[in-house]
Structure 1
Amino acid sequence: MSEEKSRIARAAGVVGGATLMSRILGFVRDAFIANLFGAGMAADAFFVAFRIPNMFRRLLGEGSLTSSFIPVFTEYLTQKSREEAREMASAFFSLAMVVLSLVTIGGIILAPQIVTVLAHGFTSIPEKFTLTVTLTRMMFPYLFFIGLVALCMGILNSLRHFAAPALSPVLLNISMILSVVLLAPFFKEPVLALAIGVLIGGVSQLALQLPFLWKNGMRIKLEWKPGHPGVVRVGWLMAPSIIGLAVTQINVLVDTIVASFLKEGTVSYLYYADRLLEFPMGIFAIAIATAVLPAMSEKAAKNDMAGVKETFSYALRLTLFLTIPAMVGLIALGIPIISILFQRGLFSYNS
């Protein structure tokens, strides 16, 4: 078990290091956004619009999909053959493309209705509402790409390859930073450049994963087999996971709905604060969870329930050891941290 703990710690270190790089670039990105848009109408519109595909991503992508797919895929790797695992992954990838395409098309068509529900307060300000709908339609295709990215990440993590998936968000941050710097001056509404950056980031993230899949012998083929036993099992596992995640997303929606009725900038304040909260979560909690899930799935596939419990216990202790000090630090140093990171340009001390 000590060897397994070392593997988990090393994997968590790789994921945590890559996540740290991504989070730092994320703060650079947010600093550019805060400097250019502050906490005004354009920033509020962008953050609401960006939250919508991200909400669906967490429900259908990296949240429920990854946690449901990895155990089944790992079982195929452990108990069957690598080729059968590849066939199952190909079948699920093909089905995911269809489902994500339908959700994306539906989101683009119903963008005004979705924004009305999620940010009803914006309807009293036509210019703000129209801008939010436009941004939502531009960024909804991001869901298609990031959903497939989540599936690729699940496959690679199951194969104990963590570097490429963990570095993937770096490309999103880079594309958004470059879009602000290079494209924003060419738009009447500079915030539209950010939406283009999001789309480029989604495509780039998917493009990064595919060569590593091929290198690891997982050449995904488009095979329409929705009735494949592995695909059906993943679907059944996803159902309760989606319900559980929906509860969390409802909390986020309530925040957004209430904030949309408050003074301009409130949505942006919530976003910037949430970004700060996600920094230690991504480096520690999510990194450990990413590293430990394939290990637990492998033990479960071998019916080693004692090993599953011991691995989970170790991961939980490690997570608490790292996140409790981070929590205390954020509570004590929230104001100076926000000031250092964001207080410049249109983002004032009051912001």
Structure 2
Amino acid sequence: MSLIGGACSRRARSEGDPISKPSIARSTATMSTATTLSRVTGFVRMWATAFALGATALASSYNVANNIPNMIFELVAGGILSSLFIPTFLEIREQRDEEDAWKFASHVFNLSVLALGAVALFGVLMPQVFIWTQTFRLPAGEAEQIRGTAEFFFRFFAIQIVFYGGGMVMQGLLNAQRRYVWTALGPVFNNLVVIATMFAVAYIGATTTTGLVVLAVGTTLGVFVMFAVMVPDLRRGGIRYTPELGLSDPAIRRMLWLAVPTVIYTVTNLVAVSFRNASAFAVAENGPSVLMYAWTFYQLPYGILAVALATAVFTELSEAAGRKDTHAFGEHLISGLRTTG
């Protein structure tokens, strides 16, 4: 892209296009609708899980093992990608050009998949290390069976860590382009796959070897599908992939440095969750599964309204910050606050 072309494209973006750029209210409404569908299918998923597994030690082993990939992803890359990737991508796009922004996105994607892939491989080979962090308060008489089942599940679930990392980059790119529908609908497809899996497990028998394998594979397949459905929309948005790590990219180094406070917060949160699960096991072998069912209800209002609004507002604030447009930044912030009221 020429300097003149880059300047023109930045000027066009800074002036704004009310037709091509949806408002915060419309973006929030779109995501809230999709998120409501996600939450509805999420409740059906919870019911199907309770139908297939109940509130049992098996359900606790499954839920703990299935939650660890999310925790590891958040520790290694989640905070960085969710809070810093979009602002940095939009800043590069506004201050340089599209080509540099897409190169940066490729570097982040490649580094995320590589780092998380290494962690996932370690999880497959040494699942007991991860499972212990959630079960260290288990009574001695129950520890062997519950940990053994959880370790079996985690050997399958560890690959989810890679899907979360690559999928988060794709989701960020779609959000940066105001393409919110498929990022919000992804969890719906995940829920549908897991619902089908749970009914299959209930038919086969949850405690049989075949049932355990179907449960492990089906749950991991759901996470893969959740992010795979975003690929066609990303291609329509004009993806430009570069197979480079970009270790010398100053934007990567800057993003990692800015991530230090986020990592500290994530570590403290994960420690709290580990103690929560371990303490739940100390009370009863089905403690974590009971917590999971209750947490699903607790998250409903936040998931439908707050997440959708925060995603839309964050994208607009990030672009305004990238342009150093304090007036637009203030307008978007006020608009978001008014919407919450």
TM-score when normalising by structure 2: 0.87
Inter-partner Cα distance in structure 2 for 1:285 and 1:30: 21
2:255 corresponds to: 234
CA distance in structure 1 between the aligned counterparts of 2:328 and 2:272, rounded to whole angstroms:
34
2: distance between equivalents of 1:64 and 1:224? 17
Q: CA deviation at 1:123?
A: 6.3
The answer for the alignment partner of 2:35 in structure 1 is 19
For 1:339, the equivalent position in structure 2 comes to none
> Against the structure 1 CA distance between its residues 19 and 63, is the aligned structure 2 distance closer, same or farther, given a 3 Å change threshold?
farther
Correspondence for 1:281 among 302, 313, 316: 302
> CA shift at 1:182, angstroms?
3.0
Does 1:224 pair with 2:240? Answer: no
Q: Tell me the distance in 2 between the aligned counterparts of 1:46 and 1:253.
A: 15
User: How far apart, in 1, do the equivalents of 2:139 and 2:120 lie?
Assistant: 23
Identity %: 30
Give the 5 Å matches for 1:185-334: 185-186=203-204, 188-189=208-209, 190-319=211-340, 321=341
Contact 2:75 2:266 in 1 (8 A): yes
Q: Does 1:153 align with 2:206?
A: no
Partner of 1:99: 115
2:181 is matched with which residue? 163
Q: Which amino acid aligns with 1:47?
A: N
| CA displacement 1:221-247 (0-9 Å, x = unmatched) | 322322212222222232321222223
Distance in 2 between residues matched to 1:162 and 1:261, nearest whole Å: 42
What does the per-residue CA deviation read over 1:32-75, in whole Å, with 9 as the maximum and x for residues that have no partner? 11122211111111111111111123334544312110001011
- How far does residue 140 in structure 1 lie from its aligned partner after superposition? 1.0
Give the direction of change, closer, same or farther, for the CA distance of 1:239–1:107 in structure 2 (3 Å limit).
farther
Identify which of 57, 61, 69 aligns with 1:53: 69
Q: 1:154 to 1:269 in 2, by over 3 A?
A: same
Mapped partners of 2:326, 2:265: distance in 1: 24
Deviations 1:89-143 (Å, cap 9, x if unpaired)?
1111111111111111122233212212221134621111100111112101111
User: In the alignment, what sits opposite 1:144?
Assistant: 162
Instruction: Give yes or no for contact 1:92–1:226 (8 Å, CA) kept in 2.
Output: no
| Secondary structure, counterpart of 1:121 in structure 2 | coil
Q: Deviations over 1:4-23 (max 9, x none)?
A: 99711111111111111111
**CA spacing shift, 1:66–1:278, aligned 2, 3 Å:** same
Q: How far has the Cα of 1:184 moved from its partner? A: 5.3
Q: Is the 8 A contact 2:52 2:201 kept in 1?
A: no
Distance 1:171 1:269 in 2: 24
Q: Which amino acid aligns with 1:147?
A: G
Q: Deviations over 1:265-319 (max 9, x none)?
A: 2111111111111211111111111111110011111212343244234324533
Report whether the alignment pairs 1:175 with 2:196. no
- 8 Å CA contact retained: 1:179, 1:193: yes
Deviations 1:148-207 (A, max 9, x none): 111100011011111111111112111111112235544615354332122112221232
- Shift of the 34–183 alpha-carbon distance from structure 1 to 2, 3 Å rule, reads closer
Alignment-mate amino acid for residue 294 of structure 1: T
Paired residues, what number?
319
For 1:86-125, list aligned pairs within 5 A: 86-122=102-138, 124=140, 125=142
Q: 1:184–1:192: 8 Å Cα contact kept in structure 2? A: no
Structure 1: gaps of 5 or more residues: 322-351
